[in-house]
Amino acid sequence: MAGILSLKPEDEKSLHPEALQWFNAWRAEIQFEVPLEELSNDDLSTFLSDDEKCEFIRYKDEITRALVTCINMDEASHDLVTSLSLTKFQVNSLLPMRRIRSLLKDVHRRKVAKAKQEQRERDEEERQQVAKAREEKMRREEEAEA
């Protein structure tokens, strides 16, 4: 997988359409809750604990392994083997997708909280600078009057 929950174009082409549709549906569901375009791999490194990073990688690998089982399947084939492979893919990737969704929600929540905290700190610093400038101006005015 390239990026956060995105597939390379060549992988999309080689995946069975039902598997791709299922994967994209999960990605859209996660995207509905977490703006994936706002998250980067750096955010994952910054806002996940070491244990969470390992868990994210493990689940992403599980999804990748499940996707690999659906590569180069005959689209026209609706035999039992294809059906079982698609069902196995869905079952094997369900828990990892849910857990990745949870981790990505945590990353986004933490990123937003940090941004808000940084904004509060900037606002407070600006208020202090304005107050200091006023005090300095008043001091100069008082000195000029004296």
Q: What is the pLDDT of residue 66?
A: 87
119-126 contacts at long range (C-beta below 8 A, 24 or more positions apart): none
Cβ neighbours of 93 (radius 10 Å): 24
pLDDT digits (tens, 9 = 90+) for 18-55: 888 999 999 999 999 999 999 999 999 999 999 999 99
Q: What is the pLDDT of residue 2?
A: 45
Q: What is the pLDDT of residue 1?
A: 42
* Residue whose C-alpha is closest to residue 106's, from 48, 37, 30: 48
